[in-house]
Structure formats: C-alpha cells, structure tokens
C-alpha cells in the first residue's frame, strides 16, 4: 500500500520526467528540423535532458512589475548603492559609453541605468539553465506558450550559430541572457560585437553589453537628446479616457492639457505624449507624460514601472556623475 501511495505521489513528476516524449514537443522538434535543418535526434536529446522548473512557473506568475506599487518598486531600484555603483561602472567604461552615444545616439546614463536595473551592472545575470527555463515556459505555461516557444526556437538557433552547448548558458527565470538580460530573439537581432574581438559575448563583455543596449534602443526609435517623461498632475475627470494602459505617445500636448493634465513643456517641441499612472498603496498615484523615449524603454520591458524607474535612475546617475560623487 505504501509503495502504491508513493507511486501515485510521484506520478505528476514522472509525467514531466522527459519533455522528449510529449506529443507537443515532438511536433515542435519536427517543425524545427523541417524549417531549420536541425537534426531531430539532436533536438530529442536536448528535450530528453531538459528539466521542468517549478520555481520558474511560480516566478512568472508574480513578476515584480505586477505585484509591487510604484513606491515599493522605486525604493527597490533607486538606491544609493545602485547610484554609486552605476557611477563607478560609468567611470570604468567612459570611452565605450561615449562611443555608443556617438554611434547610437543614446546618452550614457540610460545605458548604465538599464544595465543597473537588469543585473546590477552584471552582478546578477541569473542562475537558471536557459534551456530548462524556456522549455518549462514553452510547454507548461499556457498563457504565453506561443511567445516562449518562439524564444526557445531562437535560443536553439543562437546556440547553433555560436557553437555553444545549449545546457551551458544560465539566465533569468524567463530565459533572459547576460549582462543586458536579452531574450534570445533580441540577442540574435540586436546584440553587437562592440569590443570588436570577433564575437558577441553578452555574458562577460561589458563593452558588448553597452553597445547592444544602445543598439536596441536606437532600432526601436530612440530620439537623441530628447526627454523620456515629465512629471504630471491631473484635475477634474476629462483625463480618465487617456488612461488606457498603452505606452505609445499618440496625443498632442494640447489634447492632454485640455483634458486637465498639467505638466511642464517637454522637449523636443511638438512631441506627442501619453498619460502614465504609477499606482501607490497609501497615497495618490504619481503621473507622468511619457514621450517617445519612454515608449522605447517599454520595448525592453513592457512595464510603466520599469520605464519610470530606468528614467529616474538615469537622472540620478547623471547628477551624481556630474557632481563627481
């Protein structure tokens, strides 16, 4: 009886012991083999070894951007230590950051801020095997299975192109890789060999990470020397229809002001904006008018909290750097 009970308790684990035996994985393998010429046997060996990660499924269900208020999220990321170490990072790679600004038009503070938010300047790049994390999410997380299957495909292609063992790369619970935490599709599309040594290395090369972040922002429409967002205040009720949860700036400054949204004039003149609400727990929400560069930052992480934190950290980094702190 005890043996039967143990077998029943183990059944869910046995069902996930090998992804290679699951019909949907077999379909995925055949499709990749057909479209990309990867040997089916090689792919089957990968999925026979890939592991289902329960902590990954738990983490994806409660990302910080969804469960934290703005005041908590800001307190987590805009700290004296992150500012101090960001300035140190900037001073360590000034020429690389200047070269990235010249080539891509992105000021150093924004590149440093993104790397600071993502991995604390390369210190925390993730401990999960990327192939395990992506396989788990691709086949055991139905809400975004399509997205993660695409990223898993991109990861396998990236590993083949770079000649690396698919089990050797570690990253975040969502499968993001390296110092800038690029998803595999972004790594294949936007990563650059900025240290010019003949290979792209987002895991160890700070130069490649700097150039790749700047390139990502430029390709998504970053506007050189333009603001990201401005503080805003709301009055009356006419502003409420402008709160639609989208980040693309589609409204003229006149439209926003006529709706009772007050803010200082942003640069460049004539820019469009979008009203952004940053919710707090025990006090009224904070508001921003997001501009084109705010939208671009949300292409990196589709969260208003994330974009607002990057923008504020960048401002603090610039102040501290200019003051020589």
| Averaged pLDDT score across all residues of the chain | 93
Mean of the pLDDT values across residues 309-323? 97
In this structure, the dihedral spanned by the alpha carbons of residues 56, 61, 62 and 64, taken in order and rounded to 10 degrees, is 70
| pLDDT tens-digit readout, 239-287 | 999 988 899 999 999 999 999 999 988 766 678 999 999 999 889 999 9
Of 72, 69, 97, which is closest to residue 317 (Cα–Cα)?
97
| pLDDT tens-digit readout, 81-93 | 999 999 999 999 9
Helix 80-92, helix 304-323: angle, nearest 10: 60
Range name among 83-97, 127-141, 238-252, 310-324 with the lowest pLDDT average: 238-252
Distance CA 92, CA 104 (A): 20
So what's the pLDDT on residue 159?
A: 96
> Does position 154 have pLDDT exceeding 50, yes or no?
yes
| Catalytic positions | 118
| pLDDT tens-digit readout, 177-226 | 999 999 999 999 999 999 999 999 999 999 999 999 999 999 999 999 99
Residue 203 CA, distance from chain mean position: 15
> Does position 5 have pLDDT exceeding 70, yes or no?
no
What is the sign of the dihedral through the CA atoms of 299, 305, 308 and 313? negative
What does the DSSP assignment read for 21-42?
Answer: GSHHHHHHHHHHHHHH---HHH
Query: pTM of the prediction?
Result: 0.91
Distance CA 311, CA 309 (A): 5
Does residue 317 contact residue 251 with C-beta atoms inside 8 Å?
no
For the chain, the domains span 15-61+126-189
**CATH 1.10.8.350 is the classification of domain 15-61+126-189:** yes
Number of H helices, E strands in the chain: 16, 6
Q: Which two tokens stand for residue 239?
A: 């502003």
């Amino acid at each position: 009886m005890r043996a039967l009970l143990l077998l029943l308790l183990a059944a869910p684990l046995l069902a996930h012991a090998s992804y290679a035996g699951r019909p949907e994985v077999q379909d995925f393998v055949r499709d990749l083999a057909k479209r990309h010429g990867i040997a089916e046997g090689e792919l089957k060996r990968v999925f026979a070894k890939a592991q289902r990660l329960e902590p990954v499924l738990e983490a994806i269900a409660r990302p910080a951007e969804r469960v934290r208020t703005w005041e908590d999220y800001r307190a987590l990321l805009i700290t004296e230590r992150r500012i101090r170490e960001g300035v140190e990072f900037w001073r360590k790679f000034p020429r690389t950051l200047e070269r990235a600004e010249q080539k891509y038009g992105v000021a150093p503070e924004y590149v440093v801020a993104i790397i600071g938010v993502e991995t604390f300047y390369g210190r925390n790049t993730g401990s999960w095997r990327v192939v395990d994390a992506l396989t788990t999410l691709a086949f055991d997380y139905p809400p975004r299975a399509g997205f993660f299957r695409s990223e898993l495909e991109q990861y396998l292609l990236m590993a083949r192109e770079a000649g690396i063992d698919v089990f050797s790369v570690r990253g975040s619970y969502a499968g993001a890789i390296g110092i800038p935490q690029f998803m595999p599709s972004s790594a294949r599309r936007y990563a650059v060999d900025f240290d010019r040594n003949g290979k792209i290395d987002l895991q160890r090369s700070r130069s490649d990470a700097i150039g790749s972040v700047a390139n990502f922002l430029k390709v998504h429409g970053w506007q050189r020397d333009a603001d990201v967002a401005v503080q805003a205040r709301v009055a009356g009720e006419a502003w409420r229809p402008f709160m639609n949860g989208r980040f693309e700036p589609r409204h003229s400054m006149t439209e926003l002001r006529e709706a009772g949204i007050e803010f200082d004039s942003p640069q460049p003149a004539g820019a469009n904006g979008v009203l952004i609400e940053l919710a707090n727990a025990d006090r009224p929400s904070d508001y921003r008018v997001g501009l084109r560069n705010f939208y671009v930052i949300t292409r990196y992480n589709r969260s208003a909290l994330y974009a607002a934190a990057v923008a504020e950290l960048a401002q603090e980094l610039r102040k501290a750097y200019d003051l020589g702190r």
